[in-house]
Amino acid sequence: MQLWRRYLRISIVWKLAVALALGVVAGLIFGPAIGFVEPVGDLFLRLLSMLVVPLILFTLVVGVSSISAGYLGRIGGKVLAYYLFTATVAITLGIVAALLVSPGEGISLPAEEGEGEAAPSLGEVLLNIVPENPFAALAEGNVLAVVFLAIIVGIALSFMRESGEERLRDLAGSILRLFEGGAEIMFILVRGVLEVAPLGAFALIAVTIGETGAAALVPLALLTGVVYGVIALMIVFYVLLLLFFKVDVRRFFSTAAPPMMTAFVTRSSNGTLPVSMRAAEQGGVREPLYGFSLPLGATINMDGTAVYIGAAVVFTANVVGADLTLGTLVGVVLVGVLASVGTAGVPSAGLVLLTLALNQAGLPLAAVALVAGIDAVLDMARTLCNVTGDLVGTRVVAATEPEMRETPEEMRAPEEPAPA
């Protein structure tokens, strides 16, 4: 008990960092034999995904009901513009860096053909935002559909609250209290899950490194280097954006570190949502903004994945000795940015998007098979960048909307005591 209390007092960032380092070492030492810890990692993933849908629903309904529809449209426009802008920057940086380094030179394709997976068309994606059955959307964890549902329910509630009929105002008040309570419960649960996160993080990273192994990375070391290098550049780009909008960068990263690490080990932006929402809340962003921008970002904003697609397309062209024209590259940028809209933030989603981009560029899909072997290692960095991008966007939009920021007195302390 004494030990547990002492454990609770250590900052979650440190606990996760130590778990990560130990996981890498264990994976390298034991290789695939470390696979027996996998259930611990899976348990952590389950605990996180258990919280995603109720958290989005509760926070977003409460948030949206407190602002006007027109205002919501304005901040929604800003969030989308930011997401589009950074994704374009990311994929362009990925392409340019790979063109400079030529990571695929000296590698030949394996004999077997890659399996091309079909991604839904943009029209289909947009249509799927409107759920046929809201309960099915909730049960299936369809993030965009849940966001849509929560927004319209929130808008209906705000109409009820302002209605001339007392009965409707009463009802709206009761339902809002219920949802507010639900959101608070979820935040307490997220806090609890974070306390066991180091165990899960250790297991997930050890298994990934154990299975991939350093040997698998060597032939594709240049591609890995380009992807990790450009993602590091993206982080610098985020810092510049934060500075430009006069956001306290240190405070931002001290609250963003837990979701960044969670993204790194879970390789899922969707799964990381509960941790990102908690971080945004601690960073002083209000519910109507983060309740909307983070779930949306987890699905449509994938800067890290965009970097990877840009770099992997150039890599494939190197491998097969194809020349890429400017027109082809522009096509890849467009497809890369648009396709990410329709792909959920789940592990290895980037591989599906890569298939699409290779199709667009007229390159053979066999390269997918080549990259697939090390995909987990690339996915860790991609997802970290994806989640960081969503958080930066949320914070930057909040910087331009005073109503979406909490005053210093209202903000929760970054390390509030854990529930006993």
Between CA 196 and CA 208, with CA 202 as vertex, the angle to 5 degrees is 135
Contact between 267 and ligand ASP per CB under 6 A:
yes
Contact between 388 and ligand ASP per CB under 6 A:
no
CA quadruple 72, 73, 78, 83: dihedral positive or negative? positive
Integer angstrom CA distances of residue 366 from 261, 319, 336, 361: 32, 10, 18, 14
> CA 402: distance to chain centroid?
25
Member of 305, 316, 355, 394 binding ligand ASP (CB under 6 A) = 305
Contact between 302 and ligand ASP per CB under 6 A:
yes
Number of residues that bind ligand ASP (CB under 6 A): 15
The piece of 20-28, 78-86, 248-256, 261-269 that touches ligand ASP (CB under 6 A) is 261-269
Residues 6+ apart with CB under 8 A from 309: 91, 94, 332, 336, 350, 353, 354, 357
Beta bridge partners of 285: 405
- Helices 69-101 and 221-244 cross at an angle (nearest 10°) of 140
The CB-of-370 to ligand ASP minimum distance in angstroms stands at: 16
Going by C-alpha positions, the residue among 292, 212, 229, 244 that lies closest to residue 32 is 212
Nearer of residues 287 and 303 to ligand ASP, judged by Cβ: 303
The CB-of-348 to ligand ASP minimum distance in angstroms stands at: 5
- SS3 of 405, please? strand
Integer angstrom CA distances of residue 10 from 16, 81, 204: 10, 39, 21
The piece of 2-10, 185-193, 346-354, 401-409 that touches ligand ASP (CB under 6 A) is 346-354
Nearer of residues 98 and 153 to ligand ASP, judged by Cβ: 98
The piece of 29-37, 179-187, 345-353, 355-363 that touches ligand ASP (CB under 6 A) is 345-353
The piece of 85-93, 141-149, 311-319, 375-383 that touches ligand ASP (CB under 6 A) is 375-383
> CA 339: distance to chain centroid?
15
Nearer of residues 281 and 390 to ligand ASP, judged by Cβ: 390
State which amino acid sits at residue 321. Answer: G
Contact between 41 and ligand ASP per CB under 6 A:
no
Contact between 318 and ligand ASP per CB under 6 A:
no
Member of 15, 286, 382, 395 binding ligand ASP (CB under 6 A) = 382
Which residues form the interface with ligand ASP (CB under 6 A)? 267-269, 302, 305, 345-350, 379, 382-383, 386
